[in-house]
Amino acid sequence: MPQSDIGFYGHVKQYHNLKAEIDQAILDVLESGSYVLGPQLIRFEAELARYMKTQEAVGVNSGTDALWLVFLALGLGPGDEIITTSNTFFATAEAIWLAGATPVLVDCDPRTRNIDVTKIEAAITSRTRAIVPVHLYGLPANMPEVARIAKAHNLFVVEDCAQGIGARGDHFAIGELSDAVCLSFIIQKNLGCFGDGGAVATNKEDLATEIRKLRNHGSVKRSHHSIGYNSRLDDIHAAVLRVKLKRVDDWSGRRREIAKLYDQGLADAPLTLPFTPSGYEHVYHLYVIDSDERDALQTYLQSKGIIALTHYPIAIHQQEGFPWGHPARVGSLPVTEKSAASVLSLPMYPELTDQEVERVIEEVLNWSASRETLSRAV
Ligand SMILES: Cc1ncc(COP(=O)(O)O)c(C=O)c1O
């Protein structure tokens, strides 16, 4: 029997599994006549705040806007430097530029791939105002150390949690050691709507109030405005996210099961597998391996009907034209540069079956064995 392809995302499968509930939630919004800043958004914000164990959650229209609006609300802008990791999706730095501030890119730790906390203090200057750790691939950054440094230097901490909803550190929760947590709900995230969406979770009421204002043309009272933007999370998306939020911990559990199968099945392959520090709860937004022959492995898997992608093959500071006339400060970033050339994300979503995971493992092992035979022959 021919084997079916294994795609990189399970969006449609997930929709089919929840179809009755999602369709009803969307229909209810359509019939309600309230589509923007309506009751679904208010309920979702309350449920998200409860889930995140923060005082407040504010829906916005993307993870990028969540970051950018937090920077604005904290008063960060031109002349300010914001430290973040060089090993992240482009949007983390982009949001810093959008606020008019200067990104300062610090290399990542070779094992966790998150910001290398031993390199943060050397990057601090009199202009530094904030640190933005990213919980990359679903593994929390070393928040206690980030918070310690921030406190010593009087800096804000804004967590980029676009990939990490539901993750935990060993003795800390996301949101506990920072001023704000920024979430993305673009469809491919662990909690995704059918399009773009985002939120800010925070224990600071004044910050939440300011973001509520900024996202809605500087207005919290009809016809009263100050300068703001249009960055609201629509009620249709909020209704879908309410259905999915109830499942996100189960989905994280399934992601961990899949990661365990990969860990066991690939333990002897000549690859570097993901590392989780003791006591941390990874949510495996992505399962990322390293191979010096990454491109060949990706092509081989594709020829077998298995889609593996790269996150991220071109580092921010190596994008063409960087920094496009915007100020940025970049030190030496060898770990990030090496990662860009060697990382490969295997299929990872809760709807993958064990058989599909076994097939990915089998093909990675077949490829590894063929490389070994080849190298022995040379
Ligand atoms: C680490 C990280 N930061 C920020 C973002 C931006 O989120 P969005 O695409 O919702 O704007 C993303 C994802 O897209 C991301 O992965």
Q: What is the DSSP annotation of 10-32?
A: -HHHHHHHTHHHHHHHHHHHHHH
Based on its alpha-carbon atoms, the radius of gyration of the chain, rounded to whole angstroms, reads: 21
Residue 372 is predicted with a pLDDT of 77
Place of tokens 């989780």: 276
How far, in Å, is the centroid of ligand 1 from the Cα of 184? Answer: 6
Question: What is the predicted pLDDT for the residue at 85?
Answer: 98
From atom 12 of ligand 1, which residue's Cα is the shortest distance away?
Answer: 162
* 91 CA from centroid of ligand 1 (Å): 6
Strand partners, 81: 102, 128
Q: Give residue ranges with CB within 6 A of ligand 1.
A: 62-64, 88-89, 91-92, 134, 160, 162-163, 184, 186, 196, 198
Q: What are the tokens at 301?
A: 């898997």
pLDDT at position 375 is: 72
State in Å: Cα 63 to ligand 1 middle: 5
Give the pLDDT score at 1: 52
Q: Which of 61, 86, 87, 89 gets mutated to test ligand 1 (max ligand atoms within 8 A of its CB)?
A: 89
CA of 162 to the centre of ligand 1 (A): 5
What pLDDT, on a 0 to 100 scale, did the predictor assign at position 371?
A: 84
| Nearest ligand 1 atom to alpha carbon 285 | 16
Cα(359)–Cα(364) distance, integer angstroms: 9
Q: Which atom of ligand 1 is nearest to the CA of 163?
A: 16
Q: Which among 9, 64, 196 is the best mutation to test ligand 1's pocket, defined by most ligand atoms within 8 Å of the CB?
A: 64
Q: Which residue's CA is the closest to the ligand 1 atom numbered 7?
A: 63
Ligand 1 atom closest to residue 65's alpha carbon, by position in its atom list: 11
Beta bridge partners of 233: none
| 113 C-beta neighbours (distance < 10 Å), count | 24
If you measure from the C-alpha of residue 362 to the centroid of ligand 1, how many angstroms do you get, rounded to a whole number? 32
d(CA 33, CA 333): 51
- Can you give the pLDDT at residue 360? 98
Give the per-residue pLDDT at 199: 99
Cβ burial of 6 (10 Å; 0-12, 13-18, 19+) is buried
Residues 6+ apart with CB under 8 A from 189: 63, 162, 163, 165, 183, 285
CA distance 306 to 268: 21
Structure tokens at 228: 């703001």
* Closest ligand 1 atom number to CA of residue 136: 1
Question: What's residue 232's pLDDT?
Answer: 98
Report the C-alpha gap between 101 and 209 in whole angstroms.
22
Q: Tell how far the Cα of 89 is from the centroid of ligand 1, in angstroms.
A: 7
Specify the amino acid at residue 158. V
Report the separation in Å between the CA atom of 264 and the middle of ligand 1, taken as the mean of its atom positions: 30
Cis peptide, bond prior to residue 312, ω within 30 of zero? yes
pTM greater than the 0.95 cutoff: yes
Residue from 43, 16, 367, 1 nearest 237 by CA: 43
Q: Are the beta carbons of 328 and 102 closer than 8 angstroms?
A: yes
Burial of 262 (0-12, 13-18, 19+ CB in 10 A): buried
Give the CA distances from residue 123 to residues 83, 106, 230, 330, 364, in Å, rounded to whole numbers and listed in that order: 8, 7, 34, 9, 39
Token representation of residue 356: 């599909």
Helices (H), ranges, the chain: 11-17, 19-32, 39-52, 63-73, 90-98, 120-123, 143-153, 205-214, 235-245, 248-265, 294-303, 334-342, 354-377
CA of 95 to the centre of ligand 1 (A): 10
- Give the pairing type, strands 56-60 and 198-202: antiparallel
User: One digit per residue, pLDDT tens: the chain, 378 residues?
Assistant: 567 899 999 999 999 999 999 999 999 999 999 999 999 999 999 999 999 999 999 999 999 999 999 999 999 999 999 999 999 999 999 999 999 999 999 999 999 999 999 999 999 999 999 999 999 999 999 999 999 999 999 999 999 999 999 999 999 999 999 999 999 999 999 999 999 999 999 999 999 999 999 999 999 999 999 999 999 999 999 999 999 999 999 999 999 999 999 999 999 999 999 999 999 999 999 999 999 999 999 999 999 999 999 999 999 999 999 999 999 999 899 999 999 999 999 999 999 999 999 999 999 999 999 987 777 776
- Report how far Cα 304 is from the mean position of its chain's Cα atoms: 28
Going by alpha carbons, the residue nearest to atom 8 of ligand 1 is 63
Q: Coil, strand, or helix at residue 296?
A: helix
Please tell me whether residue 287 adopts helix, strand or coil conformation.
strand
pLDDT of residue 2: 61
